[in-house]
Amino acid sequence: MTEAAFNVHATAIVVGKTGLLFSGPSGWGKSMLAFTCMTEARRLGLFTALVADDQVLLSAEAGAVIATCPPSITGLIELRGTGIVRQDHIPRAAMHYAVLPGSATGENRVPPEGEMVSIAADFSLPALRLLTGVSSPLAILMAKVPDIGR
């Protein structure tokens, strides 16, 4: 049974069979990081697709967090400073990880193992931390979780 969808400000993509939900403050670079991950995945010969950018509709289905896209923005991703571009997309996907801003300084620079994050209401996912502006974000995520893309 599917619950009502909850709209969150995020970007959702799939790499292989792994759903990645980029979540963080406005201006963090969610869309650009997700786009760069999709570009890296294509270069590696992995399946990748956009689910939603800017507005992600989350619902629960059989214990999984499912992401879908509002119809008006299907297949579109905004690359700050460049504009809106069309991407290969899929209508829905299970999300497996939340990709969140990392910290390069202080005691939070090494995030805790097994960190879980509440995305909205009753939606929690394992967290992966990532700094903005890294040149190979997918490589970093795959180093942390080797099954991404499989």
Closest residue by Cα to residue 94 from 34, 13, 35, 32: 13
Contact present, 66 and 59 (Cβ < 8 Å): yes
Where do the domains of the chain lie, and which CATH numbers do they carry?
A: 6-144 (3.40.50.300)
Helices (H), the chain: 30-43, 137-144
pLDDT tier, 16 (very low <50, low <70, confident <90, very high otherwise): very high
Structure confidence by residue, pLDDT tens digits, 28-87: 899 999 999 999 999 999 999 999 999 999 999 988 999 999 999 999 999 988 889 999
Whole-angstrom distance, CA of residue 53 vs CA of residue 69:
8
Whole-angstrom distance, CA of residue 2 vs CA of residue 36:
31
